[in-house]
Amino acid sequence: MRILLVEDDLVLGAAMRDHLVSTGHAVDWMQRLDDARLSLDTATYELVLLDLNLPDGRGLDLLKSLRGGGSTVPVIITTAQDQIAVRIEGLNSGADDYLVKPFDLSEMSARIAAVARRYGNSTPEIQVGPVQIDLSRRQARVGTSAEALTAREWAVVERLLLRRGAIVTRAELEESLYAFGAEIESNAVEVYVSRLRKKLGKDFVRTVRGLGYQVPA
């Protein structure tokens, strides 16, 4: 998935970004609220990791602005403030979860997966024809055979399953694969869709000519 990371601590931000990228996510890392707002106006994100104290303001103000504008993008707050009152304010402002610094990066990944499931599929295990997908464990099986998917192949699968039955455009899939500033290969989406069909079967992903791709409902 494509994630917006809003964190001004350079060491922590780099560690979070690198961990997320290593697990197959596209990450845009912003260190100021104004840059985060611009990113949200420019790209579509599946999740926001939001620090509360930033050089140009409070992360809660951005969260309240998002919810006030009708945005339902999942938001996980990350902060060193562990007071109960601050947590309650964040959750009441529309946050989906809360991580208190310092936190383990594997816990961050688990929280992200849990929030993503709440917004996408109610169960991490999904059956598509003969293909069984376990999103929580990132396991794919065709019948009794396990198929190993790369991180970027998982990014495509997750975006398609998030909107299962709907048409997902090529541009939307590219957003899942690449962060700002990354060089986008002209045929990247076609390459990953082709690989998925070879591993999971030609009917797993359908091409809707001129519109995009679809995993059947």
Distance CA(153)–CA(123), nearest Å, equals 20
Tokens of 81: 């403030």
Distance CA(172)–CA(168), nearest Å, equals 6
Cβ(1)–Cβ(159) under 8 Å? yes
Q: What is the pLDDT of residue 208?
A: 92
pTM of full prediction above 0.85: no
Q: What is the pLDDT of residues 5-29, one digit of tens each?
A: 999 999 999 999 999 988 878 899 9
Flag residues of the chain having pLDDT under 70. Answer: 119-124, 179-184
Q: Domains in the chain, ordered, with CATH?
A: 2-119 (3.40.50.2300), 125-214 (1.10.10.10)
Q: What is the pLDDT of residue 124?
A: 61
Cis peptide before 124 (omega within 30 of 0): no
**Residue listed under structure tokens 């069909």:** 197
